[in-house]
């Protein structure tokens, strides 16, 4: 690979796409940039890429880990196909240096946001799927995330923070946790704040770039602060 390639050209070469790929340009265009320049954002590609990533990881789990049943396989997939894991994969691709973002997001160091990177990774996967087909997209996703799948498969029974908190609160007779989520900021730069309540008591809050990530952070903080910790 030539050292003179731009980050986007280097990405295209790594994916096996033409450097002139219009879909790849769209895939790295955040909605904040699109709003400022009147062009298409990567949101529609992100929608498709989410499904492609999910299927590719399910395929990997089914073929490479026959010892996992449906339940444990689903847990492994949920621990891999999430914002944090996809953001790490995006960092390995150097996606931050390829992304086109608006001035406001750039000023607020938006390229460091896991949600923005994870969304871009899914959009890039969709571009690859549309231009090169399922097999190319499957191989790319599985190669990018096989390490995360292998790590998750070592502890298939480990539950996510929200499930762990719910199991504890129900086992101690306090009922199911309730989450109140508030969104703040413009549509292209939303921050979610979640407060988790157990038995009517507010235990903790969490923030994230998505409703789910905010709830997960709140659940994790509540778990650390519980009385029997």
The answer on 172 and 114 residing in a single domain is: no
Domain end residue (candidates: 98, 132, 154): 154
Do 89 and 117 form a contact (C-beta atoms < 8 A)?
Answer: no
**Which residues have C-beta within 8 Å of that of residue 193, sequence separation ≥ 6?**
181, 182, 184, 205, 206, 207, 214
pTM of the model: 0.74
Check residues 5 and 102 and name the one with the higher pLDDT: 102
CATH classification at residue 120 = 1.10.1520.10
Query: What does the pLDDT look like over 184-222, one tens digit per residue?
Result: 987 767 889 999 999 999 999 999 878 888 898 899 899
* Per-residue pLDDT, 65: 95
Same domain, 28 and 121: yes
pLDDT tens, residue by residue, 28-70: 999 999 999 999 999 999 999 999 999 999 999 999 999 998 8
Q: How many domains does the chain have?
A: 2
* Percent of the chain scoring above 70 in pLDDT: 96
pLDDT at residue 163, as a whole number: 83
Q: Are 180 and 197 in contact (CB under 8 A)?
A: yes
Does residue 167 register a pLDDT over 80?
yes
Residue 136 lies in a domain: yes
For residue 209, give the CATH number of its domain: 3.30.160.20
Is residue 2 assigned to a domain? no
Q: Let me know whether 105 and 171 are in one domain.
A: no
Judge if 98 and 176 occupy the same domain.
no
Report how far apart, in Å, the C-alpha atoms of 173 and of each of 140, 168, 170 are: 46, 9, 5
Q: Which two tokens stand for residue 197?
A: 């309540």
In 3D space, the residue among 6, 45, 28 whose CA is nearest the CA of residue 100 turns out to be: 28
Report percent pLDDT > 90 for the chain.
62
Give SS3 for 19. Answer: coil
CA-CA distances (angstroms) from residue 153 to 50, 67, 74, 81, 158? 21, 10, 11, 13, 10
Residue 134: the pLDDT is: 98
One domain for residues 145 and 178: no
Write out the catalytic residue numbers: 50, 122
Among candidate residues 154, 184, 213, the one where a domain is terminated: 154
pLDDT score, position 137:
98
Give the pLDDT confidence score for residue 10 in this predicted structure.
Answer: 94
Write out the residue range of the structural domain in which residue 191 sits: 161-224
* Same-domain pairing of 185 and 216: yes
94, 120, 154: which is the final residue of a domain? 154
């Amino acid at each position: 690979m030539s050292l003179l390639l731009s980050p986007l050209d280097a990405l295209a070469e790594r994916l096996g796409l033409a450097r002139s790929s219009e879909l790849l340009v769209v895939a790295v265009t955040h909605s904040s940039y699109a709003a400022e320049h009147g062009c298409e954002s990567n949101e529609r590609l992100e929608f498709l890429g989410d499904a492609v990533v999910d299927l590719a990881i399910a395929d990997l789990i089914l073929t490479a880990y026959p010892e996992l049943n449906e339940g444990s396989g689903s847990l492994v997939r949920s621990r891999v196909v999430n914002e944090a894991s996809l953001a790490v994969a995006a960092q390995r691709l150097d996606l931050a240096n390829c992304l086109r973002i608006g001035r406001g997001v750039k000023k607020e160091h938006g390229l460091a946001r896991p949600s923005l990177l994870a969304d871009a990774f899914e959009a890039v996967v969709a571009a690859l799927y549309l231009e090169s087909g399922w097999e190319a997209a499957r191989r790319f996703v599985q190669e990018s995330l096989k390490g995360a799948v292998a790590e998750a498969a070592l502890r298939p029974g480990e539950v996510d923070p929200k499930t762990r908190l719910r199991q504890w609160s129900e086992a101690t007779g306090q009922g199911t946790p309730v989450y109140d989520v508030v969104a703040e900021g413009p549509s292209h730069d939303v921050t979610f704040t979640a407060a988790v309540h157990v038995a009517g008591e507010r235990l903790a809050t969490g923030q994230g770039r998505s409703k789910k990530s905010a709830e997960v952070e709140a659940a994790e903080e509540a778990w650390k602060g519980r009385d029997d910790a």
